[in-house]
Amino acid sequence: MKLVGISGSLRKGSFNTALLHAAVELAPSGVELIAATIHGVPLYDADTEAAEGIPEKVSELKELAAACDGLILFTPEYNNSLPGVFKNAIDWMSRPSSDIPRIFRAKPIAVLGASPGNFGTMLSQNAWLPVLRTLGANPWFGGRLMVSRAGSVFDAEGQIVDEKVKHNLAVFIEGFAAFVKGTQKS
C-alpha cells in the first residue's frame, strides 16, 4: 500500500514536517509512506493557469496523489484555522476542475497536526472538512491526533522525544492504513 503525506508548512523547523518524517519511519510493514512538500507551489492565479498551465511542482503533487492509495494531511493551525499556503496547494491540485475525480474523488484522506499551542490543531483539522467534502474525498474519522505543545515533543533535530506521542502517531498511521485497505477493491 502506498500513502502520501503532505506537510502544510514551509517553515524550516516545522513541527508538522517533523511529524511527517516520524510517520514515515513508523509506517507499518507493507505500507510505504512518501513525504511530500508544498515548497515551490506558487499562489493560485487563474490568469497564470490560463497562460502557463499547471506549474511543475503542482503536477508532481497531483501525480503523487493520483497514484497513492491514501493521503495524509499534516496540517499546522494558524489563527484557529488551516494555513492559507496549504489550502492554496490543495486548490492548485484541484485544477483543472476536471481533474478532481482523478486526484480526490473517494480518496481516503486523514488529517493530523502539531502546534505549539494547547489545543493541537483541532480547529485546523475541522476547517479541512468542508474542503474535503467539496472535493469528494473520503475522510477517515476513525482516529484523531492533535499534537499540542509541540515544542516539547520534538528535539532540536526534529526527532520525537515524547514516547506517548510516538506511540499515538504509530497507532494513527496503522489505523488509517487499515481504513485504506478496507476501501480497496479486491
Q: Any idea which residue has 518524517 for its cell?
A: 21
pLDDT value of position 185? 77
Entry pTM:
0.97
CATH code: domain of residue 117: 3.40.50.360
Q: Which three cell numbers stand for residue 86?
A: 496549504
- Other CB atoms within 10 Å distance of the CB of residue 40: 13
Q: What are 161-173's pLDDT values in tens digits? A: 999 999 999 999 9
If you average pLDDT over residues 40-60, what whole number do you get? 97
Residue 132 has pLDDT above 90, yes or no: yes
What percent of the chain has pLDDT above 70?
99
Closest by CA position to 6, among listed 34, 31, 44: 34
If you average pLDDT over residues 31-41, what whole number do you get? 98
How does residue 103 score in pLDDT terms, banded at 50, 70 and 90? Answer: very high
Q: Any idea which residue has 498551465 for its cell?
A: 53
- Say if residues 111 and 128 touch (Cβ distance below 8 Å): yes
How does residue 35 score in pLDDT terms, banded at 50, 70 and 90? Answer: very high
- Other CB atoms within 10 Å distance of the CB of residue 184: 10
pLDDT value of position 186? 61
If you average pLDDT over residues 122-147, what whole number do you get? 97
Q: Which domain does 32 fall in, by range?
A: 2-183
pLDDT value of position 66? 98
If you average pLDDT over residues 92-114, what whole number do you get? 98
Closest by CA position to 146, among listed 110, 126, 119: 119
What percent of the chain has pLDDT above 90?
98
If you average pLDDT over residues 59-75, what whole number do you get? 98
- Say if residues 8 and 71 touch (Cβ distance below 8 Å): no
Per the structure, the count of domains in the chain is 1
